[in-house]
Amino acid sequence: MNLLSSTSVFGFYTLLSRILGYFRDILIAIFLGTSIYADAFFVAFRLPNTFRRLFAEGTFNAAFIPSYAQEKSQGEDTGKKFADEVFSLLLFFLVFLIIIIEIFTPVLVYLIEPGYF
C-alpha cells in the first residue's frame, strides 16, 4: 500500500508540473511570441535547465541515493557526514562553475547559440 500511495503522489505532482509547464509555454507564446525576446529567453535558460536536469532529475540522483542509503545503513552519523561532504563538494563545484561562466559568458553564448554574434 505504501508503494501505491507514493506512486500516486509522485504521479500527481508530475502531472501538475506538466500542466503548469504547458500554461507557462502558453504565457510565453502570448507575451513573447516569436520575437527576438523569446529567442533570448530560451537561450538564457538553456544552461540552467541542463544543470537542473543533471542534478535534480537525473544523473546526480541516480548516483547519490544508493550511495547515501548504503552509508546511512552503517549509521545515522555516517549518512549525515556523507551527505554533508557531497553537499559541500557540489556547492564548491557549482560556485566555481558560476564564476568561470560569468567570466566567459560571451564565449559560452557563442557556443550555445552562434547566431547571436
Q: What is the pLDDT of residues 47-97, one digit of tens each?
A: 788 777 777 776 777 788 888 888 888 988 888 999 999 999 989 988 998
- 8 & 42 share domain: no
Same domain, 65 and 92: yes
Domain count, the chain: 2
The phi, psi pair for 58, rounded to 5°, reads: -140, -105
CA atoms within 13 A on the CB side of 29: 6
* Same domain? 46 vs 19: no
Q: Is 6 exposed, middle or buried (0-12, 13-18, 19+ CB in 10 A)?
A: exposed
Average pLDDT, the chain: 84
Strand, coil or helix: 74: coil
- What was the pLDDT predicted at 103? 93
User: Residues 54, 73: one domain?
Assistant: yes
Pairwise pLDDT comparison (106 vs 84), residue with the higher score: 84
Q: What are phi and psi of 34, to 5 degrees?
A: -110, 40
Same domain, 16 and 41: no
Residues 24 and 43 in one domain: no
Query: Is the pLDDT at 1 greater than 60, yes or no?
Result: no
Question: CA 94, CA 51: separation in Å to the nearest integer?
Answer: 10
pLDDT of residue 117: 60
pLDDT digits (tens, 9 = 90+) for 26-43: 998 898 888 888 888 888
* Claim to verify: residue 27 and residue 43 sit in the same structural domain: no
- pLDDT at 5 exceeding the cut of 90: no
Q: Are 48 and 6 in a shared domain?
A: no
Q: Which residue range forms the structural domain that includes residue 12?
A: 1-31
